[in-house]
Copies of this chain bind each other. A is one copy, B any other.
Amino acid sequence: MVVYAGQGDPRRSIELLWRGSTVENRPGPKPGLSVDAIVDAGIAVADEQGMAFSMRAVGERLGRTAMALYTYVPGKNELVDLMYDRTMAELPTSYPLDDGWRPAVTQWAHDMWEFYGRHPWVLQVSQARPVLGPHEFAVTEELARILVSTGLPGRRLRGIVGAINYFVRGAAQTIVEARAAGGATGEADEEWWYARSAVLLEIQPDLEKKFPMLHLLETDREPIDPTLPYLENDALENFRGGLKVLLDGVEGAVAKP
């Protein structure tokens, strides 16, 4: 299940995102938890166990039952929203433009790529309905700021911002899920690929003849960095190459009106 953002009461969600919890002097037992603590626990659990994290797991990590969380947070969806936005706080929001927009965008993209690698579950949070939280805003604002310095009009930049976002996300997703495929250890990785490929070639021996272009793409390789596992090499190379082409396109748009 992709987690859709903000199914619940929009007011409550947005207040939580932008205001945090307002604590006054109220009757009743002192709260033993806080929204912040719950969000942090949620992030920790998700980082460890992926999106299979559950309210039970988050509660357990805090020494409570799952239901205790519902005192602070309307439901799982809203918690995910908060986790999503909170995590984004760790991204830089100020890139120097001294060398122009291109190095800045490149750095932004690489940071984003690494961010997704650190928090794979973020990629599962629905994208289209933006969470509309402050940190997500800040991160996108920064990309916009960098790109505005190209001089291109906003109406053209919107597609570009989207393209860069989609690209980084997609590329990150590829590597992240490929890693996950290997299992918890991250080691059985190549074996998994190998098992699949072997069976595939056994069943379809003439695969390379049936799909000659894919074969061509697969086999025309640059020398790889032997210190990295195969998949990381592959993904990083493709990421750099794709980003380069994308930014070349932007450059073209900047050059001619």
Q: What is the interface size of chain A, counting residues whose CB is below 8 A from a CB of the partner?
A: 86
Complex CA–CA separation, A195 to B132 (angstroms): 12
A14 and B200 contact, Cβ closer than 8 Å, known pairs A4-B180, A127-B174, A241-B158: yes
A104 to chain B, nearest CB (A): 13
**Contact residue among B167, B181, B214, B219 (Cβ-Cβ distance under 8 Å from A166):** B167
Indicate if A242 sits at the interface (CB-CB under 8 A): yes
When distances are taken between beta carbons in the complex, the residues of chain B under 8 Å from A165 are 170
Distance of A102 from chain B, by nearest CB (Å): 12
Segment of A25-33, A64-72, A139-147 in the binding face: A139-147
Interface residue? A250 (CB, 8 A): yes
Interface flags, A121-143, vs B, CB<8A=1, else 0: 00010111100100001101100
- For A128, what are the chain B residues with a Cβ–Cβ distance below 8 Å? 173-178, 180-181
Q: Which of B6, B174, B177 contacts A162 (CB 8 A)?
A: B174
State which of B2, B171, B199, B221 has its C-beta within 8 Å of the C-beta of A2: B2
> 11 A-B pairs, CB-CB below 8 angstroms?
A2-B2, A10-B195, A10-B199, A128-B180, A137-B210, A140-B214, A141-B211, A159-B243, A162-B174, A248-B252, A249-B250
